[in-house]
A and B are shown apart, each in its own frame.
Chain A
Amino acid sequence: MIKNEKIDLKEFLEIRKEVLQTWPTGQKVSLDEAIRFHRTIPEERRFAWVMKKAREKRQTLLQPRAGVALIDDHIKLLRYLETEGQADLLPTTIDAYTRQNRYEEAEKGIEKSKQAGTSMLNGFPAVNYGVEGCRRVVENVTKPLQVRHGTPDARLLAEITLAAGFTSFEGGGISYNIPYAKRVPVEKSLQDWQYVDRLVGFYEENGIRINREPFGPLTGTLVPPCISIAVGIIEGLLALKQGVKSITLGYGQGGNIIQDVAAITALRELAEEYFRQEGYDDFELTTVFHQWMGGFPEDEAKAFSVIALGAIVAKFSGAEKVIVKSPHEAMGIPTKEANAQGLRATRQAINMVEDQVIFKPEDLRSEVDLIKQEVRCLMNKVYELGKGDVAVGTVAAFEAGVLDIPFAPSIYNHGKIIPMRDNEGFIRIFNKGNLPLSEEIMAYHRQRLMERARAEGRTISFEMVTDDIYAISKGRLVGRPR
């Protein structure tokens, strides 16, 4: 049975032997060599150091998503994003086969990409390339590199990419399972991510600080802030237990400016509070704001507007990092040019608002307080179900629907809650399913939703949810009747 306890080193090394055997490239991973290599990486190429500096200097750093099937093309892509896109931080987005540990299919994808002369995979198949291939990527860029993916069992991927010299690893046992998989039990993914965090803890014990970033946006579709924040706090706590020190917690843009700024504020304050409450005080906490993760307009001009709004809100929220979208979002994976355009549009918007203070904390307080109350309702129940153990509580919480992520593909998720926008575009909860939110909180949500129903002259219905999901791609925030 899972417990929120640090994995014993001997046990870790036992599991490690099995993990490295799951694909031939695993055999070439050497922790000694990896640690020696990491010691040669200068500060400004280390994710944790750069994120910490951003916090001190109150900067919002820019990072795109990007990954293609072939190594040389991938390096070209990243270099282009450094030079033409002026990215502060670089990604390596992993393809969907690797995310499901289907390395044979990834191998076919590499072959087909070579034949086609273009990428037939939606990301970089890092496991197939092994430490050597990934090291080539690391050695050919100048900005800190992070692995971005969506892998429920990322143990081998972490072993290989961290050994190659990547300095940050995205994901977590909830955020890379429930929104990304169909049949992976929560307990299994939590254990596999304890392993990843333990690996990061091992590097830490050897003087190498690796940044970890739970995936905040979850399904990116009308996710109420309290759910995203509770998941981030839980994954942060699980990571700290395994020895992780540098943690970046995320949140995906919802669309209402006040709610988005309030959410990042609540996330930062609550994470700090919960981490200290469990006895940690030597962590480096930063936040990341994801530009709109839902459907985009096809018209590139309109897409730039969505990107710019995300940039502005990211800056107002004080997030240390913003994950940038491209004008090709509606069509799928962007060209390198479109990707760089997204970065430049974001930079311009951020620069124009960076010296302005629009929101005073007191303007936001009521929304921040509401989100905090909601998160406390969820966290209290998780702790109660786990009798104080957050890992045990998380497994029980998903079983009971106490944690429930809207529109997620996993069969281990209840999928009972119904979120929708209120009349001002705030994401509210119409049906709470089994979320342990108080009557008072739910009465407020319903009241705000009734305002919209009255304004639109229709009753609250599932149609509103569908309208909301497609609203931004069709040109507005709230899905009004046509």
Chain B
Amino acid sequence: MEDKTEREKDTIILGVIGSDCHSVGNKILELFFTAEGFKVVNLGVMVSQQEFVDAAIETNAKAILVSSLYGHGEIDCQGFRDLCIEKGLDPIILYAGGNLVVGKTPFSVVEAKFKKMGFDRVFPPDVDLKKVAELLRQDIQEKFGSDSREAKLDKSIQAKESL
């Protein structure tokens, strides 16, 4: 694993959206992404869009990973990207994963639906988490690459000065 200090780690927001109380996968995602070197802010289950966005603003997060297991994901996620833009979170990376719609639907259909809603990536329930972490690192690099390096540089200079 990359050895990063707490300060250098990229912050990501985790949570299960809407009235969904499936908590097992959420606890495992937290452990997994923490082990992968992210700074994880886990909002737990039954999280509203507003709570996701507020947490992202507060922690300067680079990505929001939305889970939904109970089938209402389609209703719960509508307008998520718009809310992010409205709150000035334009570049934030949005992922969605789980059993996102009611009933057995081909994944390609689900994926298209959620991408149209503004999600950058969509994952089925059996996705290999290692792959997700890899994609997430790539996406963060692409969207925030130079910015975040500069920001880190600034911080490290400040840190040195304060010494």
Contacts and interface: CB of A to CB of B under 8 A. Distances in A.
Interface stretch (A92-100, A344-352, A438-446): A92-100
A179 B21 CA distance: 8
Nearest to A338: B104
B17 to A, nearest CB: 11
A332 B104 contact: yes
Nearest to B47: A182
Contact of B71 (A100, A102, A333): A333
Contact of B21 (A95, A333, A409): A409
B102 A332 contact: yes
Contacts of A181: 21, 46
14 contacts: A96-B21, A96-B70, A100-B46, A109-B72, A112-B75, A118-B102, A118-B103, A180-B21, A182-B21, A330-B125, A332-B69, A332-B99, A409-B22, A409-B45
B126 interface: yes
Interface in A86-145: 95-97, 99-100, 102, 105, 108-109, 112, 118-122
Interface residues of A, number: 38
B23 A462 contact: no
B28 interface: yes
Interface core residue of B31, B44, B75, B104 (most chain A CB under 10 Å): B104
B20 A96 contact: yes
A119 B74 CA distance: 12
A407 B31 contact: no
A118 B101 CA distance: 11
Contacts of B102: 118-122, 332-333
Contact of B70 (A122, A338, A466): A122
Contact of A122 (B31, B72, B126): B72
Interface in B56-102: 69-72, 74-75, 99, 101-102
A95 B75 CA distance: 13
Nearest to A221: B24
A148 interface: no
A159 B102 CA distance: 28
Nearest to A296: B125
A386 interface: no
Interface string A397-410: 00000000001110
A334 interface: yes
A179 B69 CA distance: 14
Interface in B133-158: none
Given A122-B70, A409-B45, A469 B19 contact: no
B118 interface: no
Contacts of B18: 96
B27 interface: yes
A473 B103 contact: no
Contacts of B23: 179, 219, 407-409
Contact of B24 (A102, A180, A219, A338): A219
Interface of B: 18-24, 26-28, 31, 44-46, 69-72, 74-75, 99, 101-104, 125-126
A409 B46 contact: yes
A301 interface: no
A230 B23 CA distance: 22
Nearest to B100: A332
Contacts of B20: 96
Contacts of B104: 328, 331-332, 334-335, 338
The 3 closest A-B pairs by CB, nearest first: A409-B23, A332-B99, A122-B71
Contacts of A180: 21
Contact of A120 (B69, B70, B74, B126): B74
A318 interface: no
Nearest to B103: A333
Contacts of A462: 31
Contacts of A330: 125-126
A408 B26 CA distance: 11
B19 A99 contact: yes
A265 to B, nearest CB: 27
A409 B44 contact: yes
A340 to B, nearest CB: 15
Contacts of A331: 99, 103-104, 125
A180 B20 CA distance: 8
A466 B72 contact: no
Contact of A332 (B44, B101, B126): B101
B19 A109 contact: no
A457 to B, nearest CB: 21
